[in-house]
Structure 1
Amino acid sequence: MVKAGAAPSAWGHCASLRACSGETCRGRRVSRCPAAAPGSRPRGGAASSPLPGSRSLTARQTRGIPVSSARRRIRRTPHLGKSVSIASLLETAKGQSMLTVRLLKLARPEAERAAEPSVMPAAFARPEDPQDRRTHTVWTGSAAALGILGLRRGSEVAPGPLMGAISGRHPERRVRVCADGDAFDLTFLAPDSVSWLWSQGDFALRADLEQAVLAAADRCVDHLVRTRPLVDGVEPGRGYAAALALHAVGTPQPWTQPPPPLLHVHAYLVGVLDAAGALRGPHYGELHEKTLTREGGAVGRAALANDLRDFGFTITSGTGPDACGFEVTGVPEALLQSGQAADKGCAGLGEETDRDPWDYIPRR
């Protein structure tokens, strides 16, 4: 079995990236493939990044800015015709599993899954990485909706408060504050090439990619709440409360086989505000409307693609089984295929199944 905290050795064989000349991207080192350096020790793994007040979303523009502010600055930056539009991705997103929606039935195991240490990027930190404690879970949404739950935007997500929020209860007073409805997991999955690139980058590049994936998921949820009638199927939400949890792999320890890197964000949408300022569960039917995941995923991937271009990477469109996705140019096709063939664990749960890949014993 692979020990906790150790980088899966298979990750060390993936790094001859043409986009970065096998060495650096914008000054950040990307490991060479061990095949090109006989006798070298495979390297992989990840490091975490702080939320909020994190490292930059783009090193030259947003150093030290919290993820929400960084995302706003990125959107204001001209891309001189190089940006990926939401409309263009909507046209080509058919069949792509960019976003899945799942009803949350059991609060405790879901909250434990969100903060499981062995799937977090911090579990794959390298000895040379900075030793600061960093988090990959964060509360997001509107101040009014979070305030009803006694929470604050940008604060770290702990299992206890998340369990209460999924149940519609105030985490301290334990009284029900969500008028009705259920909570949902909107899982945003990054392209495989981004995950492999992350597994080979130095600390600064990994931190940037982690922040970009989190910001993309955040923008996806924000867009859906503002544009879809999630309040009773009649009107958009006036605000919302959600927890974001970034995972680096889909399967927790112990492993019999090292899983591939798989950056994905679980966005636990626990409530939306109605016109009267009451916190309600999102409308089940609207969240499972057939175009919602396509639109939400396209919004998230458009934001991610633009940030990747801002980092200096080249994007190759028309990828995937239906030629409808995008990848970072230069990541070997064999690596992408190995990631697509692997079990995605908690990243692969969607509306079509209620299975639990982590074999939790149901507890309330």
Structure 2
Amino acid sequence: MPASRLLPSDEAVDLIGLVRDLATQELAPLVAEAERTEAFPREVFRTLGRAGLLGLPYPEEYGGGALPYEVYLQVLEEVGAVWASVGVGISVHALSCFGLATAGTEDQRQRWLPDMLGGELLGAYCLSEPHAGSDPAAMRTRARRDGDEWVISGAKAWTTHGGHADFYKVMARTGDARGDISCFLVPADAPGLVADPPEHKMGLTGSATATMRFDDVRVPADRLLGQEGDGLKIALAGLDAGRLGIAAVATGLAQGALDHAVAYAKERETFGERIIDHQGLAFVLADMEAAIQSARAMTLHAARLKDQGLPYGREASIAKLVATDNAMKVTTDAVQVLGGYGYTRDFPVERYMREAKVMQIFEGTNQIQRMVIGRSLDRAGGGSLHLAR
């Protein structure tokens, strides 16, 4: 049973219908084999790009779709319900465009952003390092100025699309203080930039994740985004939006697991009845539905705050925390509903369960989200009610 949606316009309804059809007809037949063989679906991203789905939240003047986040996240959810690796990939691509779109000069945006949003180019985001994941200010990758160029040296871990992307948004240290970090837009063909073999992961095996190594990679000075030292600010601002993307994909993943569990429960019989007619099983499915609806509501609440230009960082962390924790619980329950079959690869729910785990880890672990939420409560004044139309 696909999710019911309340959308703000007829155009949004048409878009969601298009995405649902594309996911069902074009993506679904490819998922199992691509995930089994760990094949990166580069052509799928080109197809989505040509359909205009890689630049949805960005301005039309640069080739984007100018969609409110409320709608964009529901697109991600529809994709995530069928193929989480691709849903995560769309979110990561949007995050990799964020620095240029928000901190780049008008000349930089005009030169590079249309190609990045137009679908032919795929982006990646380089922030984490082997010893600096949850604490990005501890990064060691450095960029030094050499005349009209920057020279970048170091390594970036856990890079989604690593080795397959056409450009990389890179955070690198440009000074000795913790906050002396800058943001660079690095083309994939820059000499000295190489990808390690991809990580062998528990889930999202169709999504390439690799360490990227920068061996004195030279980029022109105009590849600096924002001012020198603005990198951490750019990174953290982008992560709020990125957390909403992951919350949406996790919600879609949980919805897909529930859909398979309900379909199975309607067909499987024990003791002369469909198993959905047994109260104990029906209650499990009801709890799964409640968890998904709660995650969706929180995610869209945060998106609507963002669309109104209101602070939404705390809500983004809550959405990421709730949606990904709920996805882990829902997918685990989906395996339980299918019993022994759920533990086999004949059904996709075991894959959903493996994919859900990483959603509690990337874009800031859920322990980090709890820290962010707790600190925001400490900083909040007596009345933090926002009223908007």
Give yes or no for TM over 0.5: no
Give the TM-score of the pair, scaled to structure 2: 0.29
Larger radius of gyration between Structure 1 and Structure 2: 2
TM-score normalised by the chain length of structure 1: 0.30
Higher helix residue share:
2
